[in-house]
Amino acid sequence: MAAASAVHARRRRRLVLPLLLLLLPVVRARVTALIVFGDSTVDAGNNNAVPTAVRSNFPPYGRDFPGGRATGRFSNGRVATDFYSEALGLGRGFVPAYLDPDYGIQDFAIGVCFASAGSGLDVATSRVFQVIPLWKQVEMFREYKARLAAHLGAAEAHAVVAGAVCAVSIGTNDFIENYFALTTTRFLEFTVPEYTEYLVGLARAFLAELYGLGARRIGFTGLAAMGCLPVERARARALARGGCDEAYNAAARGFNAALAAMVADLGAELPGADIRVAEVYDFFEGVVREPARHGFVRADVGCCGTGTYEMGYPCGAWAAAPGGTCPDADRYVFWDAVHPTERASRLVAEHLVNSTFGRFDN
């Protein structure tokens, strides 16, 4: 009876997701699945299965997710890729984590997330917090392909992967948790331009590997204005700089320019490939510098705790405190000191679906 109850509970948890309160335009181009790689901007809960401190599977995270569940997403609700799934017409408003035991290959056939919070293009970045490195995410993808072939048959599994949209969101941690944080020796080995070139070379190899595994439609999200994250603004204030850290923002722009050049070059070399950069910097910078124009009240601090340093467990420490989180997260651009609220993620998703992820084959 207990086992049966557990199974029914898992099924109910799959069915509790209601229609989105704010609907994104549905893309008409045929998309078979959404396959996600990256870091905490898109991790749907893979780190729950990893012995790391970079987790968010506890309150107050997930308080606005259907069912009020803390799934492991670094948000009060959904993240951008959850909205992509809805907009791409996949019939589901979320993307499950590959390591979530509540889901199986039948669920992953239309969407799966391999992302791991704290990860980066540089394997040294993933070692800082012992999270899933990008190479391991690719190995998980290989395993997924084999399971999909066993589930659907080889031909149909190949068609699913070829017709899928792959969403990649990674690179910020390489700068803010590695290079600028001085947590590895990279700052001694490279100048910022040299490290950017190194990272873009890793991105090129990763994209080529995905292509070799059958992926054809890939959107790589550029870096946002990381110097305007609340945690970086707080650090800048502590150093009497004030405002956003423009050195960090310059690094993001430099990476984005190099990424765009590489993607254009690589795409021309790979027959049948449609690889695009999802340009988010200007849009999101506009949101954080002029939040009122987008219906927000605060962009300088997060909703959780003081909003200046809390992320993960430090945010969780405020869960039971009176007034530990803001009453209305929709008024804030950021949920914690690093990650956007569900509403901000929805705005980003709408922008990127219209500019990139909904434009494949169009």
Gap between the Cα atoms of 345 and 263, Å rounded: 24
Gap between the Cα atoms of 253 and 36, Å rounded: 23
> Does position 349 have pLDDT exceeding 50, yes or no?
yes
pLDDT confidence of residue 129: 97
The pair of three-digit structure tokens given for residue 38, joined into one six-digit string? 């990256």
Cα dihedral across residues 177, 182, 183, 184: positive or negative: positive
DSSP state of 27: P
Which residue in 135, 71, 134 sits closest to 103, CA to CA? 71
pLDDT confidence of residue 29: 53
pLDDT confidence of residue 80: 98
pLDDT confidence of residue 350: 98
Order the strands of the 217-221 sheet from edge to edge: 111-113, 34-38, 165-169, 217-221, 274-278
Map out the domains of the chain as residue ranges. Answer: 33-359
Gap between the Cα atoms of 154 and 284, Å rounded: 41
pLDDT in tens, 295-315: 999 999 999 999 999 999 999
> Does position 193 have pLDDT exceeding 80, yes or no?
yes
pLDDT confidence of residue 77: 98
> Does position 267 have pLDDT exceeding 70, yes or no?
yes
pLDDT confidence of residue 221: 98
Q: What is the reported pTM?
A: 0.91
Gap between the Cα atoms of 346 and 34, Å rounded: 17
> Does position 14 have pLDDT exceeding 80, yes or no?
no
Q: What fold, for 33-359?
A: Rossmann fold (3.40.50)
pLDDT confidence of residue 3: 41
> Does position 283 have pLDDT exceeding 70, yes or no?
yes
Q: How does residue 351 score in pLDDT terms, banded at 50, 70 and 90?
A: very high
Active-site residue set: 40, 336, 339
